[in-house]
Chain A
């Protein structure tokens, strides 16, 4: 295959291959995801209501692809980095709030735990840039 013919092909391929991020929905630069409660370092007895705060974006039902709106995910003791090219995992440490919930009752075993919020789009993918909260550490007595 000669080079001249290969170039457009390569360009085409790279178009499909490289911007995996391009499928992630854009988020406003000033969007802010945060914990209303608990705060970093909190010491809590038993179960608690975890409340999610979001500024400059809206909370919607998963499946609704309105611009600048998403739904919450709570990561508990997750250390793996967030993969922007995959739907946010769903298991016991990745909780989903696809009905548009903005708070949840959380029960954790005693000890130190980390909590982090991640906003997902209609198809549960992270936004671009990813909208994530500070990762906080709490202690359950």
Chain B
């Protein structure tokens, strides 16, 4: 501190007065919103991130816009520019880049700058600037919402016809210790780009609507024709006739439509007609169309057994719900065993596959394109990634797709049993993919449906990939809901994983086993399956 005072008192290198240290400049003041909260959360991490942002974003952006970084404070910076246009442009670039950087971290850890820009006469010294202009800029910064750029009237007058973006006048504001009120404007993001985006979206939407109407027409025609041939192969193959809680596999389409897809016909965007009887042993061969691109060939391909659709929906199994004992005494996290009643719902027959995931990635709604075989379960998915997928699926199909609750998952995994594994109390080969279940070491797990289905006709409920559920992590069932709903609230930095993975041992295959993981972190064994409310 003493050093700084010395520096400011101008000891080293007194400003020579013939250099005329006053000049007019556009002053940019930036400051991290909620810095002390961030420091409290993670001091070391925050410090590193701030320094990194300064090094990788702030400094180069200022230089690119011909500005000069005057100084950085612990949580902010001050820069001066000859040109107000460049100053505002630089501020926008910084804000937009930060949005991108924040996208990968949980909201609690977001680093958002407030930025104020003012035009003023300043005194320039080696390592600092002074003057009312600087004070006004920093007051503007204080007024700004996190992630926003506020500019003064002086700047606005200079840039209004030169910089293509929106400005919102916030009127005259009285600011602390400044006599005259300051006219304040909020800079809106690039309006032109926003409009362009909206127009493009509208076009795509109209195209999709037309395509879907064609598909509905084709589908209805096919449906009427196929109903006469009345295939029943699926009913014979499904191992469900003895399980009372399972709805029979969709042998007759009308009933299945009721359970799985509440209102497919009037919906503007149709999904695949999942009611179509598909022989369960061949999940890989069920959809000949390789990618559900928006330019789907509608009903033009006659050899296809059913019309291709916009979105390939995961195959669902409708469950009638019921009561069961959730938990076990094998691990403290699984206690206490408690009675839970689950309402009717449908759950994915398999975990979401690479192919299904990539449809979402192609639609730019999911964060990354998964590699691997089409029929392998998608992996390296964070809870937030999984949520994005179900949101996209629900949106494009207009059906209430979601993640299952933890109770629903265990109910479905048990398949009506109370044993250690769904097939009994002893490990048996061929039932699940795990480290000591007989199949290990592969880069990614076997394709979905490689092991036996449980009594509800569900595959890979235990082993294979870890599966995210909706619930926040709680270290035991103390206080858990008993109505089958997801248990939210509490410290929700991590969420619940079920099933265990192909890298875990047999203990993790148990339907009662539960694990947790950070909400926003990807890990190579984590996947998920979807659920659907009736």
Contact = CB atoms under 8 A, between A and B. Distances in A.
Given A58-B44, A59-B42, A124 B517 contact: no
A89 B500 CA distance: 12
A100 B518 CA distance: 10
A102 B520 CA distance: 17
Interface of A is mostly: loop
Contacts of B522: 62-63
A87 B524 contact: yes
Given A66-B52, A124-B524, A91 B44 contact: no
Given A91-B508, A98-B521, A64 B515 contact: no
B524 A59 contact: no
A52 to B, nearest CB: 10
A101 B491 CA distance: 14
Interface in B479-534: 493, 503-505, 508, 515, 517-525
Contacts of A107: 475
A90 B521 contact: no
A116 to B, nearest CB: 19
A10 B105 CA distance: 43
Given A58-B48, A64-B104, A91 B515 contact: yes
A96 B518 contact: yes
Contacts of B508: 91
Contact of A90 (B49, B475, B517): B517
Nearest to B504: A91
Given A61-B105, A91-B504, A124-B524, A98 B45 contact: no
A59 B105 CA distance: 14
B423 interface: no
A43 interface: no
A32 to B, nearest CB: 14
A22 interface: no
A140 B233 CA distance: 60
Nearest to A69: B48
A64 B102 CA distance: 11
Interface centre among B48, B52, B106, B522 (most CB of A within 10 A): B48
A99 B525 contact: no
A60 interface: yes
A60 B42 CA distance: 10
B451 interface: no
A96 B45 contact: no
Interface string B37-55: 0000010110011001000
B109 interface: yes
B45 A62 contact: no
Interface of B is mostly: loop
Interface in A79-121: 87, 89-92, 96-102, 107
A102 B39 CA distance: 13
A96 to B, nearest CB: 7
B340 to A, nearest CB: 23
Contact of A102 (B45, B493, B519, B521): B45
Contacts of B503: 89-90
A60 B105 CA distance: 10
A58 B518 CA distance: 19
B48 A59 contact: yes
A98 B517 CA distance: 8
Contacts of B519: 99
Nearest to A86: B503
B44 A63 contact: no
Contacts of A102: 42, 44-45
A61 B104 contact: yes
Nearest to A62: B521
Given A61-B105, A64-B104, A98 B44 contact: no
A92 B515 contact: yes
A99 B493 contact: yes
B104 A100 contact: no
Interface in A19-73: 54, 58-64, 66, 69
B48 A60 contact: yes
B373 to A, nearest CB: 20
A97 B493 CA distance: 11
B376 to A, nearest CB: 17
A61 B475 CA distance: 23
Contacts of B48: 58-60, 69
Contacts of A89: 503
A64 B49 CA distance: 11
B442 to A, nearest CB: 12
A114 B438 CA distance: 30
Interface string A115-135: 000000001100000000000
Interface string B104-117: 11100100000000
Contacts of A54: 44
B104 A98 contact: no
Contacts of A63: 104, 521-522
Contacts of A123: 524
B154 to A, nearest CB: 39
Nearest to B42: A100
Given A91-B508, A99-B521, A123-B524, 16 more contacts: A54-B44, A58-B45, A61-B104, A61-B109, A63-B521, A66-B52, A69-B48, A90-B525, A91-B505, A92-B331, A98-B521, A99-B518, A99-B519, A100-B42, A100-B45, A107-B475
15 contacts: A54-B44, A58-B45, A58-B48, A60-B48, A61-B109, A62-B522, A62-B523, A63-B104, A69-B48, A87-B524, A98-B520, A99-B109, A100-B42, A100-B45, A124-B523
A-B pairs with lowest CB-CB distance, top 9: A98-B521, A58-B48, A100-B45, A99-B518, A62-B521, A98-B518, A59-B45, A87-B524, A61-B105
Interface of B: 42, 44-45, 48-49, 52, 104-106, 109, 331, 475, 493, 503-505, 508, 515, 517-525
